[in-house]
Amino acid sequence: MKSSSRGIWLAWLLVTVTGVASAEVHNIEATFEPDFANPHRNQFTNRTPSEGFCRQAPWACEPFGLFSLVAAIPFTANGPILANHTDPRQGGMAKVPSDWRDVIVTHESGDTQLLQLRIAGIGHETQLPDTVGNITGGGTWHDLWEGGAWMYAPPPCQGVGTYSSGNYGYNSFWKVPTGAGVCSKRAKFDIPESMRYLFFVYAYELRTPNPLQMDAGNYTGSITYTVGPNGDFDMGDVMIPDDSLLTLNFNLRVTHTLKVDIPPGGNRVVLEPQGGWQSWLNQGRKPTRLYRDQTFNISASSRFKMSLQCPYHSGNNCALWEPNAGHTVALETSVTLPNGLTDGAGQPVNRRRLLRDGSGTELFQPGFYLDRKVGTLHFEVPRDDVEEMIKPGTARSYSGSVTVIWDSEVG
């Protein structure tokens, strides 16, 4: 009984494994790195070299943002293609997923972004079972198909004016507009069984997410297309593929810049009244405001948040400490960011209060890459506290430290 049972189980396993569809897999990588020479160019660069058509005829692809890859999936005719057939599915046809499709790409942090993709062109390496001259009775590829050779694309597809050919083979390419549907060629002569497409070339177009709103690192995602009759890549009912799936894996790599430079000596801030201390020293006029503005240079291509750390604090503010009197006063800190940086609501950042818990400054985002643009930190002691600090005949010295944090880990 054990031997018989094991034999049945192995037979079932064999059937299951051989029934699993294989898949052609292509990897597409795009990168973003901020470019100070082109700060408004907030786009990914496709790092996957084109194969096939767009490599051979870049002039037909690059102006339109198209790239092409070769799918090593051969198709073989399961019967003859008959002359003057009335059903497009019985001849030379192509229907590809030319509408935009969404691909979710995910960062290791869990952040997700939307990538969009469409197939924008299709080409075949056609191989006839006999010479084109024999099939057409002495004619050429131009005579084999209605409307001329395969280079002359049937509407709604668009030809690109280039091809290569021999006695048995023909290679050309059609551009496919968005939502084009079926593009088909009718044979004018019977083509014997076993015509083949040795492979197919597809062009693709990408809409990438805004890298300035993405975390640094890698975002990955994938999409799988079906190949074959009534699938995503559909070449009709006669041409049958050796593989039924085409998977595209995406890796979007984001490199960000977030750098803040304080001018020399700017890390030591001295608070003074407007116009200095002369009015108090010479005239006894008590100041009502102690403040200092400190500029900084920021280079930023990423989102960030801001907060404070300090050894002395007054509520959610930092504070200054006077050791002799044991007295503290609040130190209000705020920030003005340069043009091009906004808050989460898209509003400019002007004297935005910085607090210890980071509330109100949870998100700042660039509209374009900023390279060494000037911002300002504002430090001020509130008026009521100034009254307490300055006592006639009493010398006091207040000090403290404030650490201003620009943090790119948002979310």
The pLDDT tens digits along the chain (411 residues) read 333 322 222 223 333 333 445 689 999 999 999 988 888 888 999 999 999 999 999 999 999 999 999 999 999 999 999 999 999 999 999 999 999 999 999 999 999 999 999 999 999 999 999 999 999 999 999 999 999 999 999 999 999 989 999 999 999 999 999 999 999 999 999 999 999 999 999 999 999 999 999 999 999 999 999 999 999 999 999 999 999 999 999 999 999 999 999 999 989 999 988 766 765 655 556 777 889 999 999 999 999 999 999 999 999 999 999 988 788 999 999 999 999 999 999 999 999 999 999 999 999 999 999 999 999 999 999 888 887 787 766 778 889 999 999 999 886
Q: Is 6 exposed, middle or buried (0-12, 13-18, 19+ CB in 10 A)?
A: exposed
Other residues' Cβ atoms within 10 Å of the Cβ of residue 104: 14
Q: What's the confidence (pLDDT) of residue 41?
A: 85
d(CA 153, CA 148): 9
Structure-token pair, residue 52: 């096939």
Q: How far is residue 213 CA from its own chain's centroid?
A: 10
Kindly state the DSSP code that residue 389 receives in the 8-state scheme: H
Q: Residue ranges per domain, the chain?
A: 21-254, 258-407
Q: How far is residue 358 CA from its own chain's centroid?
A: 29
Q: What's the confidence (pLDDT) of residue 3?
A: 32
142 phi and psi angles, rounded to 5 deg = -65, -25
Residues 6 or more apart whose CB falls under 8 angstroms from that of 134 comprise none
Q: What's the confidence (pLDDT) of residue 9?
A: 29
pLDDT digit string, tens, across residues 138-160 = 999 999 999 999 999 999 999 99
In sequence order, what DSSP letters do the residues of 121-168 get, joined into one string? EEEEEEE-SS-HHHHHTS--HHHHBTTSSTTSPPTTSEEEEEEEE-SS
CA proximity to 291, closest of 306, 314, 275 = 275
Residue 375 C-beta-side C-alpha neighbours within 13 Å: 27
By the 8 A CB rule, do 384 and 305 touch? no
Q: What's the confidence (pLDDT) of residue 289?
A: 82
Q: What's the confidence (pLDDT) of residue 317?
A: 94
pLDDT digit string, tens, across residues 7-23 = 222 223 333 333 445 68
User: Which of the four CATH numbers 2.60.120, 2.60.40, 1.10.3470, 3.30.450 does domain 258-407 have?
Assistant: 2.60.40
- List the beta bridge partners of residue 214: none
Kindly state the helix (H) or strand (E) to which residue 297 belongs, with its residue range: strand 290-300
Other residues' Cβ atoms within 10 Å of the Cβ of residue 139: 14
By the 8 A CB rule, do 124 and 77 touch? no
Positive or negative, the CA dihedral 154, 117, 123, 64 is positive
Structure-token pair, residue 297: 């240079």
pLDDT digit string, tens, across residues 333-355 = 999 999 999 999 999 999 999 99
